[in-house]
Amino acid sequence: MDKEKAHKAFLKFLKKGYRITPQRFEVLDAALDYGTHFKPDELYIKMKNDGSKVSRATVYNTLELLVKCELLSKRIFNTNITMYESNFNRGQHDHIIFEDSDEIVEFSEPQIEKLVEKIADKYDIEITGYTFNIYAKHKKTRRKK
């Protein structure tokens, strides 16, 4: 992952009226390195465990700026808990959210993308983004009940 590119995009965004601080770039790097969906407090705790001096407020505020900058996506799944994931160098993908665990599986399905294009044509609209989530339970868990 070319973090330099992400840094340049974030710097360009911050120059539009936000304070440019090393702590914000530290949060950016930690978020990009996380590798999966994360809750703000999970990122904050990981950063603290790694020796960071960044405050919880800085983490939360920077995550919102990273969403505005489109380097991260903010996701709210069935638990009403806010989670984030990197958009950097990633294509469109969808999610399977397991209700009986904390597991989230990402997948890409060309048929879904074709359906979105078909809907855009049918309603003569320009799609700027979409989310598709499947909520599921593991079959083993379902059998136990």
Residue 68's pLDDT is: 95
Higher-confidence position of 27 and 111: 27
Residue 51 CA to chain centroid, in angstroms? Answer: 24
Tell me how far apart the terminal alpha carbons of the chain are, to the nearest angstrom. 43
- Per the CB < 8 A criterion, the answer to whether 62 and 23 are in contact is yes
| 47 — pLDDT class (breaks 50, 70, 90) | very high
In this prediction, residues 26-37 reach a mean pLDDT of: 92
For the chain, domains (ranges, CATH) are: 1-90 (1.10.10.10), 91-145 (3.30.1490.190)
3-state secondary structure of 62: helix
Ramachandran area for residue 124 (φ above 0: left; ψ -120 to 50: alpha; else beta): left
This prediction's pTM: 0.75
pLDDT greater than 60 at residue 142: no
